[in-house]
Amino acid sequence: MRALLDACVLFPTVMREMLLGAAAAGGFAPVWSERLLEEWARATRRLPEGAEAIARAEIAHMRDRWPEATAPAPEELVAGLSLPDPDDRHVLAAAITGGADVLITLNRADFPTRTLARHGILLREPDGFLTELAAEGIDLARVAEEVRSRAEAASGRPQALRPLLKRAGLPRLGKALAADG
């Protein structure tokens, strides 16, 4: 399965690390466009100094790890698509050219399911998507523990897994992993 990761799910650290960890564990093949990666990097400019450099280093690592993930969003395809927000057409175009089966976003209203279905693409939010992968046997408990450990090291404070995932917008995943633990 190929899944396009919208910029809004790449920006939050814990959410991004869980999604990329799930991809690394074999749950799916990620897809993105250069424009989506650039949107994420630019969004970090409102964070403390150095955040953009960190994001760009992570982007370089992602490109190295998944060289086949970058999909073009040709202008002629973008121009022919219709979405509630015309600025999101490039996202759908990248999903189409990247062969995505799923588009993962927090912006459900911007991507009508009928429009996506015409291109054979399902719309999923990260929490439900990751919870389903865990139910299918992808080892997200290990991924979550690695993410929790990094969050703890970065904050200098203990981080309980379920509240960390809840704060990251992944409450169902946190509940599912707690039930399995």
Q: Classify residue 103: in a domain, yes or no.
A: yes
Q: Classify residue 153: in a domain, yes or no.
A: no
Q: How many residues does the chain have?
A: 181
What is the domain extent for residue 96? 2-12+28-125
Q: What is the pLDDT of residues 49-102, one digit of tens each?
A: 888 999 999 999 999 999 999 999 999 999 999 999 999 999 999 999 999 999
User: Considering the entire predicted model, what is its pTM?
Assistant: 0.94
Indicate the number of domains in the chain.
1
Confidence check: pLDDT of 23 > 80: yes
Reported confidence tier of residue 181, pLDDT bands at 50, 70, 90: low
Q: Classify residue 148: in a domain, yes or no.
A: no
Confidence check: pLDDT of 34 > 80: yes
* Alpha carbon of residue 3 to chain centroid: 8
**Cα distances (Å, whole numbers) of residue 47 to 50, 51, 68, 167:** 8, 6, 29, 18
Q: Classify residue 18: in a domain, yes or no.
A: no
What's the token pair of residue 155?
Answer: 């904050």
Q: Residue 85 belongs to a domain with what CATH number? A: 3.40.50.1010
Walk across the sheet containing 29-31 and list its strands.
29-31, 2-5, 102-104, 122-124
Q: Classify residue 41: in a domain, yes or no.
A: yes
Instruction: Reduce the secondary structure of 92-119 to three states and give it as a string.
Output: HHHHHHCCCCEEECCCHHHCCHHHHHCC
Q: Classify residue 144: in a domain, yes or no.
A: no
What's the token pair of residue 136?
Answer: 């299918």
